[in-house]
Structure formats: C-alpha cells, structure tokens
Amino acid sequence: MKRSSPGKARVLSTRLLYRGPLFEVRRDRVREPGGVETVRDVIRHFGSVVLLPVLDDGRILLVRQYRHAADEFLWELVAGHVERGEDPAKAARRELEEETGYTARRFRHLFDFFPTPGFLSERMRLYLATGLTPGHAKPEDDENLEVGKFSPAVLERRIRTGAIRDGKTIAGLLYYFRFITRRS
C-alpha cells in the first residue's frame, strides 16, 4: 500500500463551469500530495447545517420531503444551506424554525462532516437542538414538508430496515444514539 504524502494539493489552474445560488462547479488542474498531476471537477458548496431536534420526551423530529435527485420522498433530519458569510449557528436556528416551526433554547454543535468528499466541498455541521417550543413553520416556497415525531427505537428500526436512507440522517442519528444518549 502506498503511503500518502502530507500536505495539500496545489491548484495549477481552475475554470468555473457553473455558478448558482448554492454552489459552483469548477474544473481544477492540480498537483496532489505525492506529485501526481490530475484534473478534478469539484462542486464548491458554501456549507450546510443539520439539526437533530429532540423533544423533552425523547422523541426526535424528522421532516419528510420529496428529493428530485433521489426521485422519492425521504425522511430526514432538518437541514439547510448556510448563506454566504452567515454564522452556521444562526443558520441552524433559522432552518429549525422554517422547516418545523419549533424554536430551541439550546443548540449544541456535535460534529462536522463531508457527505461526499470525492467531488463536493460541502461541510455539514450537525447540531443537537433541545428545549424545543412549537410554533408555525415557514418553509420556503419550493418546500412541501411533513413533520414527524419518532422514538429512538422506531428510528433505529427504520435505519436497520432501510426505511431511512438519507446519509446525514443515518450519521446524525447513529452518532446521537451511540455517543450522546448512552452517556446520559
């Protein structure tokens, strides 16, 4: 097995292929650690927040929405993009209220992760939201969301049976079940 060299890739040239409101697509010619020159198409994303909202009784809020790229409805943790220059914690508060109507007294940053680091720069930041108070959701015009409240046992079963298929949701829930609730 070849050892990886420390350091970062050196971008030799870059070409913007697409610029949209949430991301850009670039074609970079790079010299990677170890000296290999190659071309990489990369989606540059401004980042996202993922919320794990836990009610006082231990149930967890998920939203169900249609995802065109997956061509199906998926149950997911609350999530949304971070505006350029926006504080991620502020984005977390905004997304929770927009998608569920709930506000939270406490937000705790759990961890950051890269969902698809082979071609996507998006960093997702997972927050635990507790001390929830219900309110009125304010979804964006293109969002048709259903909010559900699920016990941890039901969510574990849905992950195990493949009924929950969204990666950020699986990662966030399993982290919560393994590292947060087992400490309590």
- Is there a single domain that holds both residue 60 and residue 75? yes
pLDDT, position 184: 52
The answer to whether residue 3 sits within a structural domain is: no
Cα dihedral sign, 156-157-158-159: positive
- Establish if 5 belongs to a structural domain: no
What does each of the 184 residues of the chain score in pLDDT, given as a tens digit? 555 557 899 999 999 999 998 899 999 999 999 999 999 999 999 999 999 999 999 999 999 999 999 999 999 999 999 998 899 999 999 999 999 999 999 999 999 999 999 999 999 999 999 999 999 988 777 778 999 999 999 999 999 999 999 999 999 999 999 999 975 5
Where in the sequence is the domain holding 33, given as residue range(s)? Answer: 10-45
In a domain, 2, yes or no: no
Is 92 among the domain residues?
yes
pTM: 0.91
Determine, yes or no, domain membership for 98: yes
Same domain assignment for residues 55 and 25: no
- Please check whether residues 26 and 69 belong to one and the same domain: no
Asked if residue 168 and residue 110 are part of one domain, the reply reads yes
pLDDT of residue 78: 98
The reported pLDDT for the residue numbered 140 is: 75
